[in-house]
Amino acid sequence: MTLPDVKIVKGAGGLGRQLPTEDGISGLVFATATATAGLPYDTAIEIRSLRQLESLGADAAYDSNNSTTLHYQVSEFFRMSPSGVLFLWLVENAGANNLASLLNPGDGAAQRLLITANGKIKQLAVSASTNSANSFSSEISQGVSKADQLARSEFAAHRPVVIVIGANNAPSNLGQLFSLKGYGADSVAVVIGSDQTVITGTPPAGNTTVVPGADTTTGASGVAAVGALLGTLSAAQVHENIGWVDKFNLSSGGSFLKAGLSNGQDGNGLLPTDYDALHEKGYIFAVQHTGYDGYFWNDSPTATTLTSDYAYLENTRTMNKAARVVRQALLPSLKGPLPLTADGKLQAQHVGELEAQCKMALTANMARAGEISACEVYIDPAQDVLATSVLNVQFSLVPVGSARQIVATIGFVKSLK
Greatest C-alpha distance within the chain: 92
- Whether this prediction's pTM lies above 0.85 is answered by yes
Residue 312 is classified by DSSP as B
Q: Give the contacts of 57 (CB within 8 A, at least 6 positions apart).
A: 36, 37, 38, 39
From first to last of the 417 residues of the chain, give the pLDDT tens digit: 567 656 665 554 444 444 468 999 999 999 877 899 999 999 999 999 999 999 999 998 898 888 888 999 999 999 999 999 999 999 987 655 588 999 999 889 999 999 999 999 999 999 986 655 567 888 899 999 999 999 999 999 999 999 999 998 888 889 889 999 999 999 999 999 999 886 444 433 333 334 444 444 433 455 899 999 999 999 999 999 999 999 999 999 889 999 999 988 889 889 999 999 999 999 999 999 999 999 999 999 999 999 999 999 999 999 999 999 999 999 999 999 999 999 999 999 999 999 999 999 999 999 999 999 999 999 999 999 999 999 999 999 999 998 878 788 888 788 887
C-alpha span between 247 and 172 (Å, rounded): 32
Length of the chain: 417
Tell me, what's the pLDDT at 165? 96
C-alpha span between 28 and 191 (Å, rounded): 14
3-state DSSP helix/strand/coil % of the chain, to nearest 5: 30, 15, 50
- First-to-last alpha carbon distance for the chain, in angstroms, is 69
Q: How far is CA 144 from the centre of its chain?
A: 15
C-alpha span between 42 and 92 (Å, rounded): 9
Q: Is 304 exposed, middle or buried (0-12, 13-18, 19+ CB in 10 A)?
A: buried
Is residue 343 within 8 A of residue 315, CB to CB? The reply is: no
Alpha helices in 117-203 (DSSP H): 136-156
C-alpha span between 356 and 364 (Å, rounded): 12
Is residue 329 within 8 A of residue 361, CB to CB? The reply is: yes
Alpha helices in 187-284 (DSSP H): 226-235, 272-280
